[in-house]
Structure 1
Amino acid sequence: MNREAVISAPAKSGTGWARNLVYAGAALALCLVLPFLTGQIPQIGSALCPMHIPVLLAGFLCGPWWAAAVGAAAPLLRFALFGMPPLFPTGLAMCFELAAYGLASGLLSRTLPRTAAGTYGSLVGAMLLGRVVWGAAQTILMGLSGSAFTWAAFLSGAFFTAVPGIIVQLVLIPPVVLAMRRAGFIRS
């Protein structure tokens, strides 16, 4: 088998169960590790939304269902191992939010064209849907505890304080996805 056939073989063979498991495992590992790295940056560490990046990438890499599972599991596993994020309501709301990110980025990346514009469209759509799901989850969870989740709290948490993370996601994820497509790591 020549070199070109070996390099392009993953794209031609499709994504198998084992390959998706490896991508999902790598994304889950990044969800556990990245918050430690960004937490070292004073005042904006948590605003970089470090767990969002691997879950969004997982949607492009291994599809909607694997990425949704990674998103749902990551906050729970991180809480079980490190005690962060606090489980109620933050961690539980993050489970829904991150699962929505993974599901939406995976579904949209399969639906929209595999161009730069389609990749950005998939990413932005997933980012918006995940934030809406987070707001709905926060509203329900806070209501269960007798507290109110206001529109101002939603806008602040989903958008205003998350601006650094939104910028990082828009700058980092599409070039990585496009490069991985060109390299044959993501099926066309």
Structure 2
Amino acid sequence: MVKQKDFTRRLCAASLLIAVGVLLPQIFHLIGGRAAGSVFSPMHLPVLICGLLLGPAWGAAAGLATPLLSALLSGMPPMALLPFMLCELTAYGAVSGALAKKLPLYPALIGAQVAGRIVYALALFVGGTLFGMQCAAPASVLTSVVTGLPGILLQLIFAPLLVTLLRRQLTFLRVSR
């Protein structure tokens, strides 16, 4: 009974974070226009939090579900970017969850941010190679990092803060080490 209750609670928490991941970009786009998504990466934050709170499987599931649901419901991200974002966000969720089991929050978060960008670059390279597109994956990733510095800083501030607060209040969200 305890395992079923724990699974249900984690499913609800992951579902709420996925919903936030779909809703948050819409709010940023309303306030800051289309460019706000590239600058603040609002979809990334709930996925990273999901991995840090619930572990790699839940984080990966949120990384897959969030951009897919957002694309289906709002058209953002555009279908041309969706496969790359699916890879990137799945990596964010899985790696943040895996590292949170072994490391403190900040190193786990930074490791996930780096891993997600590496996976994004690899996805761009593979996609460009498979479809014969001219794609400078390292330059694209560097550009997205520079453009997204405000979002990276927001993630570094808010993800550990929210994860710490939620772990204190909700015991079932504690990742066992």
TM-score (structure 1 length as normaliser): 0.83
Counterpart position of 2:51: 59
Structure 2 residue 70 is matched with structure 1 residue 78: yes
- Aligned AA for 1:25? S
Q: Percent identity?
A: 37
Moved over 4 A (4+): none
Q: Say whether the 8 Å CA contact 1:139–1:148 is kept in structure 2.
A: no
Structure 1: segments with no counterpart, 5+ residues: 1-11, 113-117
Aligned pair partner of 1:148 in 112, 130, 134: 134
Q: Assess if the C-alpha contact under 8 Å between 1:44 and 1:164 holds in 2.
A: no
Q: For 2:125, what is the secondary structure of its paired residue?
A: helix
Alignment of 1:40-51 (within 5 A): 40-42=31-33, 44-46=35-37, 47-51=39-43
Question: Aligned letter for 2:140?
Answer: A
Question: Residue type of the partner of 1:153?
Answer: S
- Please, which of 22, 28, 38 is the counterpart of residue 18 of structure 2? 28
1:121 maps to: 107
In the aligned structure 1, how far is the partner of 2:20 from the partner of 2:34? 21
What residue identity is the alignment partner of 1:154? V
Provide the residue aligned with 1:166 in structure 2.
152
Q: Given the two structures, how large is their TM-score scaled by the length of structure 2?
A: 0.88
Question: For each residue in 1:77-115, what CA deviation from the matched residue of structure 2 results, as whole angstroms up to 9, or x when unmatched?
Answer: 211122221122x11100010010000111111111xxx
Aligned-residue RMSD, C-alpha: 2.0
Larger radius of gyration: 1
| Structure 2: runs of 5 or more not aligned | none
Counterpart residue number, 1:98: 89
- The alignment status of 1:18 with 2:5, answered yes or no, reads no
